[in-house]
Amino acid sequence: MKRLAAISAAMMLSACTPLMIQQAGAPPMGFQGPRLERDVFVSFDGTRLGLSRWEAQGEPKAVVVALHGMNDYANAFHLAAPYWAQNGVTTYAFDQRGFGRSPNRGIWGGDDLMVEDLRAITAVVRNQHPGVPVIVAGESMGGAVAIEAFASDRPPAADRLILMAPAVWGWSNQPLPYKTMLWLAARFTAGKVYEPPRWLTRRVKPTDNRDELIAMGRDPLMVWGARSDTLYGLVAMMERAWGAAGGIKVPTLYIYGANDEIIPEEPSFEAAAKLKATDRSAYYAKGWHLMTRDHQGPVVWADLLSFIRDPQAPLPSGAPTIPGSPTLPNALIEAEGRVKAQVGL
């Protein structure tokens, strides 16, 4: 058995990636570059991706570019974004390639295209809102895309980054039987769509908000199940994100819930431990995976709003930092804020 496991591991490391991956399109004649339309983000290659927006009344004080997770779409932010809009923050969320209203649903978009889409929309938003802070917020898979982008040599034109339970459960942390089966499935049944068994969906919850789970289950724009080569691509992306977390080039807030049943604690703590000492983190005892949609979602919305407004401001919840992360404890930030207030700074 040990010999078989070693051979399987060697095969995974040496083989080429077997994915069906979307390719950049050919921009149409007269293409004038990326732009935002009413419910569409036209990306760098002319591909039309679904767009949702929640606009602040009057001129926004900050703008968020939001990235959803695996099999989700821009509606992932339908609870947090209206709250931010009420507080002077405009949010643009787009359906990443292969998800929601975007073309080629179910076909893996690939790291390069997804990262380039993020660069493109961030540049458009920056130009549309000159002088206003731009913050990227990535949830789960969206967090993995954001990590890769901001750790690259061409980070998006944003001022700071929010990572919400980013997908960092890559090859380094996957159990050997899992990754062996995925390696085999991606090569021999690449186009087969695997849906989670009912017993698993009953036991593993992304949030404690039952009403939200029911609404997601009834939403025709959600994707349920995934091709085996898409799952392979996701795990490879998670591995790259896990390894690149220490290279993020903007101030970052990394949040994680103690009850997360989707992205395990170990790789999440390891990724958070790679952050810079000047970054921030928050660990929610009542948090699950989809933290802005949990029952305690309003607590998270307010904390994220605080960071959106000022990356050095105390988090209203007073949530502790993620265990093992090198980030400045929130209690010290609160104490510093009180001292500054007392001396009139």
**Model confidence pLDDT, tens digit, residues 113-164:** 999 999 999 999 999 999 999 999 999 999 999 999 999 999 999 999 999 9
pLDDT at 309: 97
Amino acid letter, residue 59: E
Q: Which amino acid is at 54?
A: W
- Residue 29 is predicted with a pLDDT of 87
Query: Pairing between strand 252-257 and 89-94?
Result: unpaired
Q: The dihedral of CA 150, 156, 158, 163: what is its sign?
A: negative
Say if domain 30-342 classifies as CATH 3.50.50.60: no
- Is 25 strand, coil or helix? coil
Extents of the domains making up the chain: 30-342
Query: Which tens digits make up the pLDDT trace of 34-91?
Result: 999 999 999 999 999 999 999 998 899 999 999 999 999 999 999 999 999 999 999 9
If you search the block for the tokens 């001129």, which residue do you land on?
A: 59
Q: Report the candidate in 28, 24, 156, 38 with the shortest Cα–Cα distance to residue 103.
A: 24
Q: How confident is the model at residue 336 (pLDDT cuts 50, 70, 90)?
A: low
Question: Pick from 321, 325, 305: which is nearest to 313 by CA?
Answer: 305
Q: Return the closest-CA partner of residue 327 out of 307, 342, 298.
A: 307
Whether 8 shows a pLDDT value over 60: the answer reads no
225-249 mean pLDDT: 96
Helix axes 228-244, 111-128, angle to 10 degrees: 60
CA 49-297-165 angle, 5° bins: 60
Show Cβ contacts of residue 154 under 8 Å, excluding neighbours closer than 6 positions: 119
Alpha helical stretches, state H, 15-77: none
CA 138 to CA 270: how far, in whole Å? Answer: 18
pLDDT at 329: 66
- The token duo for 35 is 């732009």
